[in-house]
Amino acid sequence: MRTAFLKTLEELAGKDPRITLVVGDLGFTVIEPFREKYPNQFVNAGVAEQNMTGMAVGMALAGRIVFTYSIANFPTLRCIEQIRNDACYHKANVKVVSVGGGYAYGALGSTHHATEDIAMMRALPGMVVVAPGDPAEADGATRAVAEHDGTCYLRLGKAGEPAVHTGPINFELGRAITLRKGGDITIVSTGGMLHSCAAAAAGLEKDGIQARVLSMHTVKPLDTEAVLKAAKETRGIMTVEEHSVTGGLGSAVAECLAQSGLHAPFKIIGLPDAFCREVGGQEYLRNRAGLSVESLIAAGKALAGKR
């Protein structure tokens, strides 16, 4: 996803001189092509993410479209006050980009795990929260947030995520993509869990369970129409995210269902509400948290059995 984002941003910057990339002294080996092509549209703010955000807001209020970029929780949790008071309050055209959502930087520990970022970003007034599921969605998301007039949060994986979509997609902020049709249960995915959700749906099909898979790439604004349609047409909904079970996609869908008056069986699958104190790579930590394909299949079976 990171590669798709930077490739698309480079293309957009060539067409629009307002587009500017500000980094927190990282991304080297991947950002050099942008820096060399567009030196007047690139700034390295150093290891000073709060300054990076303030600088981005200043440039945005002067007419630029500014993307800030750093690892995992550094451009979000470290500078939440600047994002809230400077960017969101002024409706600045700042796009906060986080690379390495969830456990992507697994072995580096909790300081590098972005596990509460969606919850915090979606609570900010006027913030658009986007977490694409594969490189094709990352391309579409980059174009969409660049075009959107206002503050956005773009949550990416790291690198090497598999392509899930096999053809062109219609990416629109606030509109889920139906990856797979099904009438038994609905699996709603956001971010890098999309490939695992697709694999789980294929596994459920072998047991005669037809799972609808929705890629909810935009957590805010949520596609409430797709959620309510799933609640009416399938026997239950489960949300899947590499993020805390508190405040993320699951919470957003739960709020939607609760206010609608519909009573569909519902399950939130995500990371526990606790710091990760184990050491290992992303796949290992995902599995330990119950996000393996096998765990998703088991949860889907349990959900399909409810009435």
pTM above 0.75, yes or no: yes
User: Torsions phi, psi of 239, nearest 5?
Assistant: -100, 145
Cβ atoms of residues 24 and 70 within 8 Å: yes
Cβ atoms of residues 185 and 304 within 8 Å: yes
**Residue 94 belongs to what domain range?**
2-156
Residue-level length of the chain: 307
Question: Is 171 a member of any domain?
Answer: no
Span 245-299, pLDDT tens digits: 999 999 999 999 999 999 899 999 999 999 999 999 999 999 999 999 999 999 9
Which one of 156, 186, 218 terminates a domain?
156
For the residues 95-102, what does the mean pLDDT come to? 96
The answer on 150 and 182 residing in a single domain is no
Report how far residue 22's alpha carbon sits from residue 20's, in angstroms, rounded to the nearest whole number: 7
Average pLDDT in the chain: 96
The answer on 229 and 121 residing in a single domain is no
Please report the pLDDT score of residue 160 as a whole number.
81
Point out the catalytic residue in the list 11, 32, 36, 49: 49
Please report the pLDDT score of residue 29 as a whole number.
80
Is 307's pLDDT higher than 60? no
Span 44-74, pLDDT tens digits: 999 999 999 999 999 999 999 999 999 989 9
Write the CA distances from 85 to 91, 94, 127, 148, 196, integer angstroms: 10, 13, 12, 19, 37
The structure tokens 């995500």 sit at: 270
How many domains, in total, are found in the chain?
2
Is 306's pLDDT higher than 80? no
Cβ atoms of residues 200 and 300 within 8 Å: yes
SS3 content of the chain, % helix, strand, coil (to 5): 40, 20, 35
What crossing angle do the helices spanning 194-205 and 293-304 adopt, rounded to 10°?
50
Query: Is 147 annotated in the active site?
Result: no
The answer on 240 and 97 residing in a single domain is no
% of the chain at pLDDT higher than 90: 93
Please report the pLDDT score of residue 158 as a whole number.
85
